[in-house]
């Protein structure tokens, strides 16, 4: 792991380049076969098209050049076909979450000289023309962005991009409205294109970040440094795995609480002062629908206070 971190650190100083832009697709999988990963057909076709294209001309924008499949399943499930070139498979039975996947991806991007990463999870569908739309936006940008984010929907509801409110909540934008100032803009990572050396500069992530809030923490880091994040004209579907309280497990709730606390620590005084009241309201909601989660939240809070003493 130390060698990987060192390699990532040396890669982090590389500035963004104009188009054409080579892309490393990074798909994080858990307990799912590869054919059931919604973006896999898009990625497979992109690799085949890139191989068929051979030498790339200067007029070409974002193009998929390599794919990393990071499989967090207890048993290996998402291995790619052996004859598919430019595809790296990693099985992490310890389930390092997206944090471990992104660290590995930054190292791989540095080794291959690829300067952009398309971050994906297993529940995101990509439309035809997705990379072309991103290429158009990148080519027309006056200042090269460090991240490009699409409009992401869960059903008919926008979930990304979003703004971070002064009380620390995540409020999705209304579709088509101009984004807020850079410091307030956030997005979910799945479907986002990030400049790989810029992401590498923030690796490894803090210990409290494993899966949940990894994306919001990254975008908050970009905003706090004044690094441009651009919304481009593409819409995609993403199934939120924790869209209802019924589907939430205690382990996943722990991840959410740890990530949220890490994220809130970076925000202003108002957000930190409001957070205990938000937690109390959540416990009351859980007490009505999922008493086990209400008790789990209270236990998490007590454990956290003990560790601070």
Cβ-contact 73, 30 below 8 angstroms: yes
Closest CA to 27 of 70, 61, 73: 70
Per-residue pLDDT for 4 more than 80? no
Where do runs of H (alpha helix) occur along the chain? 2-11, 40-53, 97-112, 130-140, 196-200, 214-224, 250-264, 269-289, 291-308
Tokens representing 53?
């294209």
Q: Is a pLDDT exceeding 50 seen at residue 31? A: yes
CA 25/CA 308 separation, integer angstroms? 39
Look at residue 56 in the predicted model and tell me its pLDDT: 45
Q: What are the extents of the domains in the chain?
A: 2-238, 245-308
89 - beta bridge partners? Answer: 69
Say whether 181 sits in a helix, a strand or coil.
coil
pLDDT at residue 240, as a whole number: 79
CA-nearest of 197, 173, 194 to 184 is: 173
- Percent of the chain residues topping a pLDDT of 70: 88
CA–CA distances in Å: residue 279 to residues 244, 255, 290: 17, 15, 15
The predicted pLDDT at position 13 comes to 54
Res 274: pLDDT: 95
Reported as a single tens digit per residue, the pLDDT across 84-104 is 889 999 999 999 999 999 999
Structure tokens at 103: 């660290």
Here the tokens at position 135 are 């290429």
| pLDDT given at position 55 | 44
82: pLDDT confidence band, cut at 50, 70 and 90? Answer: confident
pLDDT of residue 183: 58
The correct CATH number of 2-238 out of 3.30.1490.20, 3.90.550.60, 3.10.290.10, 3.40.50.300 is 3.90.550.60
Q: What Å distances lie between residue 73 and 28, 34, 64, CA to CA?
A: 10, 12, 25
Distance CA 135, CA 163 (A): 24
Comparing 20-24, 147-151, 242-246, 286-290, which segment has the lowest mean pLDDT? 242-246
Separation between Cα atoms, residue 125 and residue 189, nearest integer Å: 13
CA distance 15 to 196: 10
In the predicted model, is pLDDT for residue 295 greater than 70? Answer: yes
The answer to whether the CB of 179 falls within 8 A of the CB of 231 is yes
CA of residue 21 relative to chain centroid, distance: 19
Residue 1 in 3-state DSSP?
Answer: coil
User: For residue range 210-219, what is the model confidence (pLDDT) as tens digits?
Assistant: 999 999 999 9
Hey, how many other C-beta atoms are within 10 angstroms of the C-beta on 309?
4
At residue 18 the predicted structure's pLDDT band, cuts being 50, 70 and 90, is low
DSSP 210: S
pTM over 0.75, yes/no: yes
> Is residue 138 over pLDDT 70?
yes
pLDDT of residue 281: 95
More confident residue, 205 or 50: 205
Checking if the pLDDT of 192 tops 80, the result is yes
Q: Residue 232: what pLDDT? A: 95
Of the pLDDT bands very low, low, confident and very high (cuts 50, 70, 90), residue 59 is very low
- pLDDT, tens digit (0-9, with 9 covering 90-100), for 245-292: 888 999 999 999 999 999 999 999 999 999 999 999 999 999 999 999
Weakest-pLDDT range from 131-140, 180-189, 222-231, 244-253: 180-189
């Amino acid at each position: 792991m130390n060698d990987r971190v060192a390699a990532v650190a040396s890669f982090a100083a590389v500035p963004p380049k104009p188009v054409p832009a080579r892309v490393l697709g990074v798909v994080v999988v858990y307990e799912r076969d590869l054919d059931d990963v919604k973006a896999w057909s898009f990625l497979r076709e992109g690799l085949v098209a890139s191989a068929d294209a051979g030498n790339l001309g200067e007029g070409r924008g974002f193009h998929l050049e390599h794919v990393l499949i990071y499989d967090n399943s207890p048993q290996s499930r998402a291995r790619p076909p052996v004859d598919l070139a430019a595809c790296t498979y990693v099985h992490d039975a310890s389930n390092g979450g997206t944090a471990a996947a992104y660290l590995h991806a930054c190292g791989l991007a540095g080794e291959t000289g690829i300067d952009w990463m398309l971050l994906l999870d297993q529940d995101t569908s990509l439309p035809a023309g997705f990379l072309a739309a991103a290429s158009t936006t990148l080519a027309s940008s006056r200042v090269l962005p460090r991240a490009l984010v699409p409009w992401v929907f869960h059903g008919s509801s926008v979930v990304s991009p979003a703004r971070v409110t002064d009380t620390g909540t995540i409020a999705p934008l209304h579709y088509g409205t101009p984004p807020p100032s850079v410091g307030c803009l956030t997005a979910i990572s799945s479907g986002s294109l990030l400049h790989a050396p810029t992401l590498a500069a923030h690796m490894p992530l803090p210990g409290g970040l494993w899966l949940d809030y990894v994306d919001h923490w990254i975008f908050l880091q970009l905003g706090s440094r004044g690094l441009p994040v651009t919304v481009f004209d593409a819409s995609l579907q993403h199934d939120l795995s924790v869209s209802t309280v019924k589907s939430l497990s205690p382990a996943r709730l722990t991840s959410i609480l740890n990530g949220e606390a890490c994220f809130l620590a970076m925000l202003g005084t108002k957000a930190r002062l409001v957070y205990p009241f938000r937690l109390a309201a959540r416990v009351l909601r859980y007490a009505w629908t999922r008493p086990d989660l209400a008790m789990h939240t209270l236990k998490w809070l007590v454990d956290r206070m003990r560790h601070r003493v």
